[in-house]
Amino acid sequence: MSLYVDSSALLKMYFEEPDSETCQDLLNSDPEWVTGRHTSVEVRSNLARELKARQLAQAREQFRLDWESMAIVELTERVCEIAAELAEVSGVRTLDALHLGAAQLVGGGSLPFATYDLRQAQAARALGWTVLGA
């Protein structure tokens, strides 16, 4: 694994948003992705909200294939404790804190963090991490 990818970055792979092309190039240049278990819920929820019928089915299938090749960080007691500590210090939202906790567990600042969530990017940068995207 060489890149932590959060939901905001992954979603740009499945439907057009601002910066989608740039994000796709970024993620395709480093195919060893790691993410937290909760990312699946976030991505699938957003896909269902944004896409309809055939587009949704195609995006779900591509996400399934991508998910199978990712390293998944389980939301263990340790990850949740790290996330809670980071949330207290940074003020990030719960799901963002879980991303930060998962990334911290598997490498913290040594693992680039791909996100297009501005608040999460600011929190990761405040931790001294390399942030790609936002």
Q: What is 3-133's CATH topology?
A: Rossmann fold (3.40.50)
Q: Which residues of the chain have pLDDT under 50?
A: none
Strand 113-115 to strand 71-73: parallel, antiparallel, or no bridges (unpaired)? unpaired
Strand 33-36 to strand 3-5: parallel, antiparallel, or no bridges (unpaired)? parallel
Half-sphere exposure of 39 (CA within 13 A, CB side): 30
Q: Output the six-digit token pair for 86.
A: 């980071």
> What does the pLDDT read at residue 1?
54
Whole-structure pTM value = 0.91
Residues whose CB falls within 8 Å of the CB of residue 134, separated by 6 or more in sequence, listed in order = 8, 115, 116, 117, 118, 120, 121
